[in-house]
Amino acid sequence: MIWDELETGLARLATEGLHRRRRVLDAPCGPAAVVDGQQVVAFCSNDYLGLANHPAIVAAACAAAERWGVGSGASHVVSGHLRPHEALEERLAMFVGRERALYFTTGYMANLAIVPTLVERNDAIFADRLNHASLIDAALLARAEHVRFPHGDMAALAERLEQSRARRKLILTDAVFSMDGDLAPLPELFALAERFDAWLVVDDAHGFGVLGPGGRGSIAHCDLPPSPRLILMGTLGKAAGVSGAFVAGDRRVIDWLIQRARPYIFTTASSPLTAAALLASIDLIEQGDDRRAHLCRLIERLRSGLADLPWSLLPSLSAIQPLLIGKNSAAVRLSEQLFQRGLWVPAIRPPTVPVGTARLRISLSAAHTDTQIDALVTALHDCAVNGSC
């Protein structure tokens, strides 16, 4: 029977240490979490600035619900584009210094919109091998040649671009890589895009709000120019603390997405209260230098405390701090031991990361305290010495 195959597949995942389980939270997003009835300190959220529960954002959402209701009623291109959506797009474009911006319900949808709308058969996509799953799926949907290059290897990318005879070329990359926490060589990528007349699409899911002057993201951090060939995707459910994503760039690119991007045209617009909440969030990001400075201090504190562990801490200066364990079972066991001690750190396994590189993904937030960081450092040292917590 066909469902027997599912039973076999699920059993195999459990045996290989790859079966995922969802935990139920009984508290709002934040370091102090209640999970499955247990109080824990969470190190697994992408709420990098601690804005998910900010009173100003909550107040903006409540006021917008009173004014606009909770549903948009249609897609943006029919009747679902309300004034808060328009105001958000204008604010985002100004914030990141691009001509126009387009709001999407999720970052996954934004990436699925960008790539297949700009390239197709007889074109070529040049993608970093560690790109996020949404970028990989976007490349497959485009039906263009999908050329992958070794992570961060600019010489290999240049060689592949040189050899390509594609009609149009598109370079596709994360800015901050979600499982390693390192920053892509954006200036070098932009130089290659200029040299080979290619689009450069940058997914700044984990840099927006955290890096750059005023939290404007990785492109601002690297001081890239506002070129028409440069397309920025930023998510708004991580450092911004709400949900959704945006694409920013040249006005012609944005208009083309509105006309041709299927994930934009054929989906109901998000709630106007979400857009209103995000308008409040952008103000907080812009004024958030103290939050970003505190986050940087926490990163330094954690890295210093974990420097002498038997497991490798990958070279990341971002809020994502991966601790490389190796075997799936070992990563899961260590994660469970920490959870029993009141520390929630997720084990990341294939296919999210390459086989043999299972890890703990420690995600820091400006809402964390020094005491919480020290508790995690102490627990990991105890596990390393004693084999258990």
Q: Is 132 annotated as a binding residue?
A: yes
- DSSP for 13-36, written as a single string: HHHTT----PPPBSS-SSSEEEET
Alpha-carbon separation of residue 202 from 9, 14, 65, 131, 175 (angstroms): 35, 35, 33, 10, 6
Q: Which of 72, 134, 178, 271 is catalytic?
A: 178
Active site residue 206: yes
Active site residue 238: yes
Alpha helices in 287-368 (DSSP H): 289-305, 328-340
155/53 Cα distance (integer angstroms):
44
Q: Is 178 annotated as a binding residue?
A: yes
Q: Which of 328, 363, 354, 362 is nearest to 19 (CA)?
A: 328
Contact status, residue 218 vs residue 211, Cβ threshold 8 Å: yes
Active site residue 365: no
Q: Is 173 annotated as a binding residue?
A: no
Q: Which of 206, 221, 294, 368 is catalytic?
A: 206
Q: Is 206 annotated as a binding residue?
A: yes
Q: Is 107 annotated as a binding residue?
A: yes
Tally of residues, the chain: 389
CB-count burial class (<10 Å; 0-12, 13-18, 19+) for 240: buried
21/377 Cα distance (integer angstroms):
25
Q: Which of 81, 221, 238, 294 is catalytic?
A: 238
Alpha-carbon separation of residue 74 from 18, 120, 222, 238, 268 (angstroms): 39, 28, 38, 26, 5
CA angle, 182 as apex, 371 and 321 as ends, to 5°?
Answer: 25
As annotated, the binding site includes 20, 107-108, 132, 178, 206, 235, 352
As annotated, the binding site for substrate includes 20, 132, 352
Q: Which active-site residues does the annotation give?
A: 178, 206, 238
As annotated, the binding site for pyridoxal 5'-phosphate includes 107-108, 178, 206, 235
